[in-house]
Chain A
Amino acid sequence: ETGVTQSPTHLIKTRGQQVTLRCSSQSGHNTVSWYQQALGQGPQFIFQYYREEENGRGNFPPRFSGLQFPNYSSELNVNALELDDSALYLCASSLGGRGPKIWFYEQYFGPGTRLTVT
C-alpha cells in the first residue's frame, strides 16, 4: 500500500509568482484535503476535493485553487504569491463520501511541501 506523497519537497518563489504543488493520494482513497501550516502553528484547512469536485473550502482567497484528477491525485495552485504564503503545505487523503458535511475522518497526511516566498 502506497502512502500519501507530495512534490516538490521544498520550493522557493518570488512574491507575485504562481506555484503548483502536487499530491498523490493513498491507494483506494477518493478524497484529498489541503492544509497550510505556518511555522509554529497548527494546520489550516484550505479546501477538499471529492471525486474531482471541490467539496468544501476554508477561509482562503480565490487565488488558492485546486484540481483533482481521475486517479484522485491533486494539485494546489497559488497565484500572486505573497510573503505570508510561506508555509508547509500538507495534503491528506481519505476514503470519504459526498454529503452535507466535509469529510475529515481517517485522514492520512503526506510529508508536506515547504514553500518559501521571498
Chain B
Amino acid sequence: TQLLEQSPQFLSIQEGENLTVYCNSSSVFSSLQWYRQEPGEGPVLLVTVVTGGEVKKLKRLTFQFGDARKDSSLHITAAQPGDTGLYLCAGETDKLIFGTGTRLQVFP
C-alpha cells in the first residue's frame, strides 16, 4: 500500500511566524503536487514539482521535492491568517495518492 504521511497533522501559529510542513513516503513519485483546501471547498492546486531536488517559490511559499523523489516540504514565511486551511500533498505513481493533510490555523 502506497502511503504519503504528512506532518504535523495540526499546526496553530501566530501571524508572522514561519512554518514547514513535511510529506514523506517510501514510494518514488513521478511528480508531487501541493493543494490547499478550505472548508466547504475542493482542493486548489498550489504547485507541481517534477524533478528531484526541485525548488519552487510562490510568493511566501517555498516547495521542495526531495532528491530521491520520495518526499517534499512546504515552507511558509511570515504566515498570515489568509494561509489558514488544510494543506495536502499528492504524489503521482500510476495513480494520484493524497497525504492525510496538515491543518494550519494562523491567528492574527
Chain A binding surface, main DSSP class: loop
CA distance A56 to B93 in the complex (A): 12
Please tell me if the beta carbons of A41 and B100 are within 8 angstroms of each other in the complex: yes
Question: Is A58 in contact with B95, judged by CB distance below 8 angstroms?
Answer: yes
- CB atoms of A107 and B40 under 8 A apart: no
Nearest CB to that of A106 among chain B residues?
Answer: B45
Q: In the complex, what residue of chain B is closest to A94 when comparing beta carbons?
A: B45
Contact with A along B86-106 (1 / 0, CB 8 A): 001010101111111100000
Q: Which chain B positions have C-beta within 8 A of A43?
A: 43, 88, 90, 98
Given known pairs A42-B98, A42-B99, the reply for A110 and B42 (CB within 8 Å) is yes
Interface size, chain B (Cβ < 8 Å): 21
Q: Evaluate contact between A102 and B95: CB separation under 8 angstroms.
A: yes
Task: Count A interface residues, CB 8 Å.
Answer: 24
> B33 within 8 Å of A by Cβ?
yes
19 other A-B residue contacts (CB within 8 Å) besides A40-B101, A41-B101, A104-B33: A33-B96, A35-B98, A42-B98, A42-B101, A43-B88, A44-B98, A45-B97, A56-B94, A90-B42, A90-B43, A92-B42, A104-B90, A104-B92, A105-B48, A106-B48, A108-B45, A109-B44, A111-B40, A111-B42
